[in-house]
Amino acid sequence: MARKPSSPAATIRDVARQAGVSVATVSRYINDTAPVSEPVAERIAAVLIKLKYVPHAAARQLATQKMMAIGLLHNNNANDDFFSLLLHGIESEVQQNDYNLLVAAIGPDRRKGIYPALGAQNVDGLLVIADSLGDDDLEVFHSQNLPLVLIQRSSPKGLNIPSVTVENKAATFQLVDHLITKHGRKRILFMRGPKGQEESFLREQGYREALDKHKIKYDPAFILAGHFQRDVACASMRSFLDGNGKRTFDAVFAGDDSAAIGVMDALGQVGLRVPRDVSVAGFNDSHYAAFLNPPLTTIKAPTHEVGRIATRNLFDLINLQPVKSVTLLPTEIILRQSCGCTG
């Protein structure tokens, strides 16, 4: 995959002309230096998206020289253990290539039509984690001919952006199947990750297929929001427990290890014991999983390797080398005491 010749970049004057406002008004909106009325803001945002506007100086710089930096975009949902492992893998490749790494978090309040701080203006390529950018944003970056590699999500249809992820569905299926066949669990809660995230969707598909295999009816009331975060999962679990008044389940697939800690905390608060009363399982095999009480049954994901391979692929794109469209890394079930196993 090589960079295509890019069309002339839109200027701030182009935006102002099509939006029917002054250049100063567009500048105030982009830089958020002064209030802009809602109708005018909506008009400017629509034109920014339509023209795929980036600062002219950035487009010129991209065409003439390398920045010697790559960017990493993530959302605010990444838990610390996952992110640190991923970052170590990324940094190992960045250092070998004598580049700098710029990192930015994308919050939910980002203004429509205003693109992230990282892009063609300051990096030679961009790593994008999960749902930190939507399909429309990815299309804009792709149209600017900026090398992109996606982490833990697939490319939007038609863009063919390389991606690196781990196997989610089959591993979840196998672990839920294990809870059913080995431990007799039949009323299994599923703790969802962030809304719209592909990994969470695939894990839920594995969960539902395991239930279907054993002719266990899917119950929407058994799907809770954990967001891959300890505090959110704990609050969601407590709300479920308080609302039911008594235990109506015998296992929880917590979505990831951070959420599993929150689940175990909530269960302990109401006197339910793991695994005697409720089996609990996670995903990722975080560094602390083996040291919980009881040690956590989970699915080991090669997070460090995901970061390393994604970064290597990005450098290949920057250097006009071919890259595999999809890299899917295997995961492994790690059985410990939290599900009821004794080994």
In this structure, of 3-12, 71-80, 255-264, the range with the lowest mean pLDDT score is: 3-12
Residue 143 lies in a domain: no
Q: Which of 216, 319, 254 is nearest to 1 (CA)?
A: 319
**What is the extent of the structural domain holding 279?**
169-302+333-339
- CA–CA separation, 106 vs 244, rounded Å? 36
CATH number of the domain within which 32 lies = 1.10.260.40
Answer yes or no: are the C-beta atoms of 122 and 69 closer than 8 Å: yes
Residue 14 lies in a domain: yes
Tens-digit pLDDT profile for residues 86-115: 999 999 999 998 899 999 887 655 555 556
pLDDT at residue number 119: 77
In a domain, 275, yes or no: yes
Query: For residue 206, is pLDDT > 80?
Result: yes
Decide if 61 is inside a domain.
Answer: no
The secondary structure element, H or E, covering residue 19 is helix 12-19
Q: Is residue 191 part of a domain?
A: yes
pLDDT per position as a tens digit, 135-146: 888 888 888 889
Q: Give the residue, 289 or 79, on which the prediction is more confident.
A: 289
Number of domains, the chain? 2
Q: Give SS3 for 148.
A: strand
Global pTM? 0.78
Confidence band, pLDDT 50/70/90 cuts, at residue 80: low
Q: Does 63 reside within a domain?
A: no
In a domain, 154, yes or no: no
CB 44 within 8 A of CB 36: yes
CATH number at residue 208: 3.40.50.2300
Whether residue 59 is contained in a domain is answered as: no
Q: Which tokens go with 254?
A: 């917590």
